[in-house]
Amino acid sequence: MQRSLVEDQFPSMSQNGSCRPAQYPHSDLSPILSSGDSDLASPLLQTNVHIDISALNPDLVKEVQHVVIGADSLIVHFSEVIGRGITDLEEVAQFLKEGIIMKDFTHPNVLSLLGICLPNEGSPLVVLPYMKHGDLRNFIRNETHNPTVKDLIGFGLQVAKGMKYLASKKFVHRDLAARNCMLDEKFTVKVADFGLARDVYDKEYYSVHNKTGAKLPVKWMALESLQTQKFTTKSDVWSFGVLLWELMTRGAPPYPDVNSFDITVYLLQGRRLLQPEYCPDPLYEVMLKCWHPKPEMRPAFSELVSKISTIFSTFIGEHYVHVNATYVNVKCIAPYPSLLSSQDNTDLDVDT
């Protein structure tokens, strides 16, 4: 039986049936990439680094997807290994192409890529710096933490800086949300999850698009992305506005009373997320600008960094935000005019 290209490059078994030790990086990734990308191929780990996947519990990698491997003489940093269920050759190629893009990101608020592993057997793995405090959403949801309003604004400012960098690299994130930002041991926020590592939030936050079957984070998506499934830096700006709202509510789910299938109509009616109780008015104004129905009217990330920096530096007070905070302006009118006809406006009945 003819072997696949991936099997030829990464044979899973030796002649006598025992597993070969898994060492990375492979000397040449170019055969797995298309001809147009092969010139970009380079080892994605330093040549003196190897990871023995056989030492990891395969069930743990598969089920939990986050495995911390200890530091030894060959691995300088504690790392996070994230597995994905990829078996198709085309998916492996896309996985590598995304890694090639991500490996050149160098910014204090963007998660760096230590390497991509193609084990002798099993799914490809992403090696990332270990983030001591986990993802931003779980951190702010944790009732043992007591972030102030200024702390939360500061987290948002760090995300804006990371996104400003990614936008300068012409990189569109497509899934910006608190769950996809990480916190290291110094509480530095790192924008993460560039498509390489979908994790435990899949069922809770992603809806399957009827036509394509793709999983989409609909309640974080810009109006035009919901309508066309196309993403730009300006649609990332919309998602950033939702992330700011998540921060000021300490991780409350957006649009809790709106079904995912109704969100497009809800937004077309001019309605938006309500102002959180502890959210300063200037910051909510920033959110509303991020949710402008016309993408070209939304601020750039460079402008957002400037605006939020001003809000952060001028904010006075040590106000603590409680989990499950209520909202203000509950009876406020829709901030934007409806884009629907009067008949369409009656099709959606949602409590606000």
User: Catalytic residue positions?
Assistant: 175
Q: In angstroms, rounded to a whole number, what is the distance separating the alpha carbons of residues 39 and 155?
A: 38
Of 97, 99, 104, which Cα lies nearest the Cα of 82? 99
Residue 264: other Cβ atoms inside 10 A: 16
Q: In angstroms, rounded to a whole number, what is the distance separating the alpha carbons of residues 251 and 324?
A: 8
Residue identified by tokens 């696949």 is 4
List, in sequence order, every residue forming a beta bridge with 207; answer none if it has no partner. Answer: 216
| Amino acid at site 23 | Q
Of 120, 159, 112, which Cα lies nearest the Cα of 286? 159
Residue 167: other Cβ atoms inside 10 A: 20
Q: Which string of DSSP letters, residue by residue, matches 179-230? A: GGEEE-TT--EEE--SSS---TTHHHH-EE-TTT--EE-GGGS-HHHHHH--
Q: What is the DSSP letter of 78?
A: -
Burial grade of 236 (CB within 10 A; 0-12, 13-18, 19 or more): buried
- Sign of torsion, CA 174 122 70 75? negative
Q: Which residues contact 349 (CB under 8 A, 6 or more apart)?
A: none
Pairing of strands 79-83, 215-216: unpaired
Of 194, 202, 204, which Cα lies nearest the Cα of 254? 204
Residue 18 CA to its chain's centroid (Å): 38
Residue identified by tokens 């790392």 is 79
Residue identified by tokens 């035009």 is 224
Structure tokens that stand for 298 in this block: 């939304």
